[in-house]
Structure formats: C-alpha cells, structure tokens
Amino acid sequence: MSRLPHISSTEQGPVSVIAGPWPSYNQFKGLPERDRWVMYSSAKAYRQALEDQGLVMAEGYDAFIRRVCAELEI
C-alpha cells in the first residue's frame, strides 16, 4: 500500500488528491517503439504538470512508471 506524502495545508494551501481513474496507455502499445517512448515522456510530463499545480497523486510515482511501461510494453 503506497502512502501519500505528508503535506501541511498551512504551507501548501488546500491539497487535492487525484485517486483515478488513471489514463490508460494500452491503446498505444501497437505503435512503433519510438512513438511509445514519446507517449511515455508525455505521460511523465503531464503528471509533473499536475504535481506542479499542487495536485497529489494517490498512485505513487514508482507504481505510475511501472504501469505506464507495462501498458506501453517498453
């Protein structure tokens, strides 16, 4: 079970935890490998953009990476 990071609302403001459902990348596994790596990079950038806005993901980063890599078969 992954644990959410402790964030003080007095320091960070209100915290929104995103619990899912997560976007699936399964539909892209048939693309050429180079394109799947582009999708992987896009998935990471999108997650980072959400985190930069102060959102906290219930899915831990390591679990996110494992899931996206498995779905893209990379």
> How much is the pLDDT for 9?
46
The answer, as to whether pTM is greater than 0.75, is no
> How much is the pLDDT for 18?
76
Token duo for residue 11 = 């320091």
pLDDT along the chain (74 residues), means of 10: 51 69 88 96 94 91 95 95
Pseudo-torsion of CA 68, 3, 57, 5, nearest 10°?
Answer: -130
